[in-house]
Amino acid sequence: MLPKSITGRLLVWRLRHIKQHQFILILSILIGIGSGLAAVTLKNTLYYTNYFLTNGFSYHGIYYLFLAFPVIGIILTILFIKYIVKDNISHGVSKVLYAISKTNSQIKPHNTFSSLIACTLTLGFGGSVGPEAPIVLAGSSIGSNLGRLFRLDYKTTTLLIGCGAAGAIAGIFEAPIAGAIFVLEILMLDLTVTTLIPLLITTVTASLVSFLLMGNEVLFSFTLNSPFILRHIPFYLLLGVFTGLVSVFFIRGSIVIELFLKKVSVVPRVAIAGSLLALVMFAYPSLFGEGYTVLKEVINGNGEIIGNSTLFGVLKENHWSFLIVIFGLIIMKVVAMALTQGSGGIGGTFAPAIFIGAICGYFFATLFNTVFGLNISQSNFALVGMAGVMAGVMHAPLTAIFLIAEITGGYLLLTPLIMVSAIAYLTCHIFESHSIYARQLAARKELITHDKDKAVLSFMSPRQLIETNFTKVDPEATLGQLVKIVAKSTRNIYPVVNHEGTFYGVVMLDNIRQIMFDQSIYDVTYVKDLLFMPDYAIKPEDSMDTVIQLFQQSDRYNLPVLDNGKYLGFISRATVFSQYRELLKRFSDD
């Protein structure tokens, strides 16, 4: 960061000479350059690390040394995070969503480089994950910290985060349209001209930076050789359902494995996951790394590369047994990815989704060709299968459609891409209402959504709304003592609380109005005889959705807040509505 004096002068100069919308466009170009450079840097570090370790490596036969590489990479990643970063940098896209939802779009500066280094250690050494999530986190961090540097508001900073994420995807795939749509679908920014123009400027800039420095060398690209055939539509429809179901397995399987590993301490966790990962990669060497090199071979017709030739050599000679080998790879990729991430590796689910989708399409084409004696294009089905699993796992059908269209250099498969992506998304959505990025955040009610009401509520906390200026009354107090308290109070509700803070109920002014002037009963009537316990109470850890529901159910204007029976204060409808209106202004483009 710049010194405060320089920052201050820069801010004053900017406010005087550059209008807000112009300044955002300038920042979007800077973010595009930054995220493009980050993408190029990660591409190169991954390539040279992997090349250095696996030069001369062959997917055929047994190559024992490479089995140890992923475990070494995971150990180095864990040490890097523990002793240098000292922060959680896993699940990059989920961290960006969390920042938008819960930390005022503030992402720590170290995320601009720490996730790239950690990803290089994990993925460069052969971890079975993808580089996209770390690069998205790095790009988003660039946007967030520029927003912090220039003291921009939440809405503008969030837009800059989106620009960083879009630039990261565009830079790594050289796919500007897919990068912009990724942000609109995954990070859930509103689709307006105000957001769309900066996103497109960033993605185009990042793509140009990547192209100028790397040429056509991207993580994955393929040139279509076979046209779309209309009579194959029924098979594409079935592929959509299949990839949707695989997406469900992808989401649930990976989360179950990761949660299991997190319950184990670090050393046993690495030992268990590392042993299983080595075993899986021994059976399927194609699981080493993100797998894009393998995909190119498979799509070009070299499907024998899928499994260990020593183990599966005989099985590959028969079409039916070879189908079992292919299907096994689909299962094992999810396992390998979850083992890598759950044991402490850093990477994303983007590349594994593409990998599994391609194998799903290849499996389906091979199956139909074997059963019906057809001549279905395995490459076309593999490419469309990528879009299907991406659409299901990420709940982002448009991103899937345009990414595959852009990396294939044309839109010849647009019709099957749309069909398969839509069906896969709808199929997966039946079983999983949230994407793999948002599932656990949604379960903890930490996810911002396109629903503006819910988005505003996600930023409100019951603890921040508690009012404590209600006069407390002891349950053993007399009516005479209560009347003296009423005379000095501006409230009409009186919480009944003993000296230990235990909540007994409330006394309502309306309920005692008829007897409060009868002095003859002042000394013989006690507060404990006048109180009543409200039917509804708020807990400090409740979400605002719960608070709103309690107000609707109780039809009251004030509800007590209790922490294990201890009185904390009240929350009023008026306070909730007032803060809601203030926060709504942050989300409004008016």
Q: If you write DSSP's letter for every residue of 465-509 in order, what string do you get?
A: H-B--SPPB-TT-BHHHHHHHHHH-S-SEEEEE-TT-BEEEEEEH
Cα gap 254→73, rounded to integer Å: 20
> What is the reported pLDDT for 50?
83
Kindly state the tokens that stand for 207: 């793509």
Identify the residue with better confidence: 409 or 513: 513
State the pLDDT confidence band at 317, using cuts at 50, 70 and 90: low
Cα distances (angstroms) measured from residue 534 to each of 301, 462, 464: 71, 18, 22
The DSSP 8-state label assigned to residue 175 in this structure reads -
Cα gap 259→174, rounded to integer Å: 34
Identify the residue with better confidence: 8 or 566: 566
Cα gap 590→439, rounded to integer Å: 31
pLDDT tens digits for range 261-270: 989 999 999 9
Q: What is the mean pLDDT of residues 96-113?
A: 89
pLDDT beyond 80 at 312: no
Cα gap 515→76, rounded to integer Å: 75
Q: Which amino acid is at 576?
A: V
Identify the residue with better confidence: 387 or 322: 387
Cα gap 548→553, rounded to integer Å: 9
Kindly state the tokens that stand for 3: 């010194």
pLDDT beyond 70 at 380: yes
pLDDT beyond 90 at 286: no
State the pLDDT confidence band at 442, using cuts at 50, 70 and 90: low
Kindly state the tokens that stand for 585: 């202004």
- Hunting for tokens 């074997």 — which residue is that? 370
- Residues 28 and 202: beta-carbon distance below 8 Å: yes
The set of long-range contacts for 308-316, using a CB threshold of 8 Å and a minimum separation of 24, is 308/61, 308/62, 308/282, 308/283, 308/284, 309/60, 309/61, 310/61, 310/62, 311/282, 311/283
Q: Which candidate, 331, 326, 419, places its Cα nearest to that of 366?
A: 326
Q: What is the mean pLDDT of residues 6-27?
A: 82
Query: What domains can be seen in the chain, in order of their start residue?
Result: 4-214 (1.10.3080.10), 230-450 (1.10.3080.10), 456-587 (3.10.580.10)
Q: Which candidate, 449, 423, 435, 426, places its Cα nearest to that of 353?
A: 435
> What is the reported pLDDT for 61?
46
Cα gap 140→130, rounded to integer Å: 17
Identify the residue with better confidence: 301 or 438: 438
Q: Terminal CA-to-CA distance of the chain, rounded, Å?
A: 32
pLDDT beyond 60 at 450: no
pLDDT beyond 50 at 177: yes
pLDDT beyond 70 at 349: yes
Task: Output the CA torsion 355→400→28→121 (10° steps).
Answer: -10
Q: What is the mean pLDDT of residues 209-227?
A: 75
pLDDT tens digits for range 139-155: 999 999 999 988 898 88
Give kind and range of the element (H or E) at residue 53.
helix 20-54
pLDDT beyond 60 at 7: yes
Number of H helices, E strands in the chain: 26, 4
- Residues 404 and 417: beta-carbon distance below 8 Å: yes
The DSSP 8-state label assigned to residue 304 in this structure reads G
pLDDT beyond 70 at 217: no
Q: What is the mean pLDDT of residues 348-364?
A: 93
H helix runs in 103-131, sequence order: 114-124
Sign of CA dihedral 129, 130, 131, 134: negative
pLDDT beyond 90 at 454: no
H helix runs in 300-349, sequence order: 309-312, 319-342
Identify the residue with better confidence: 376 or 144: 144
> What is the reported pLDDT for 277?
93
H helix runs in 108-153, sequence order: 114-124, 132-149
Q: What is the mean pLDDT of residues 501-510?
A: 92
Contacts of 192 (CB under 8 A, 6+ apart): 589
> What is the reported pLDDT for 195?
86
Q: What is the mean pLDDT of residues 317-330?
A: 84
Give kind and range of the element (H or E) at residue 571.
strand 566-572
- Hunting for tokens 């989300």 — which residue is that? 587
E strand intervals along 124-247: none
Q: Which candidate, 343, 219, 362, 355, places its Cα nearest to that of 286?
A: 355
Q: Which amino acid is at 113?
A: F
Mean pLDDT of the chain: 87
